[in-house]
Amino acid sequence: MGNRTTRPKNGPRFVAAYVTGASSGIGAELVRRLVARGTRVVAVARRSERLAALAAALPGSVAIEVLDVADTDAVRASVAAWDARFLAEHGVGLDLVVANAGVGLGEHARDVAFENLERSLQVNTLGAMATLHAGLRCFLERGASGTLCGVSSLAGTGGFPSSGSYAASKAALSTWLETLQADLAGSGVSVVDVRPGYVHTEMTADAGHALPFAWPVERAVTRILAGLDRGTPRVVFPWQLRLILGALERAPRSVWRATMRVIARRS
């Protein structure tokens, strides 16, 4: 084993974090909050201008990297490189890795292009897995504790009209995170599955349909950080949508299918 990450006494809960999808929405707000708490953050996204603006607003506190997580080799190399860099420069490696990058390509099954199906899985599932797998390797090789966080979705509960690839990609991520939680129990590595409902972000701004029980991004990130601090296995919100979908999930599957057909006809 290599050097173990040592958290400074009276320091921030997380010393060094790697956050994907950091150019807007939940990712950008998470970066801001972590920096405010004293965490060194690597902000990763595809949009260089947005990342530059974020870093300029938080001078000296944020490192940026322009990267598409669909390039799984690149994101794995990036996580490893930043972990090594923090260890060399500050004596501590990454102790929080957040796979937040995602795309929502909602299209009816009759109209969806295969390229969009493929893109959803490349980013939402494989990109997230690559990010977290790389973080896990860093923790294990150093014999270090740490937290892995994947942002999935309540959409992964089941099939939703015109959201097939998105729902499937998030369901796959959630299942994998649950497996990690079992495999890594007692290892010192916490695995957190964040399952939001609707959040007011750029992704949902053009949804073209109602956003029931939607939360502002600031409230969402407050809840996420509380879960990360505790190492909560699942962070699920809002409670109203969780309750409704949970009831549908426990009912016979025919009830779910009938409900989704009603929603599809009304949308």
The angle subtended at Cα 39 by Cα 78 and Cα 173, nearest 5°, is: 50
198 in active site: no
Amino acid at 107: E
Question: Among the options 166, 176, 215, 237, which is catalytic?
Answer: 166
Q: Which helix (H) or strand (E) holds 190?
A: strand 189-196
Amino acid at 46: R
3-state SS string over 203-223? Answer: HHHCCCCCCCCCEEHHHHHHH
Burial 140-161 (b: 16+ CB within 10 A, else e): bebebebbbbbbbbbbbbbebb
Q: Which of 41, 48, 85 is nearest to 63 (CA)?
A: 41
Which positions are catalytic? Answer: 166
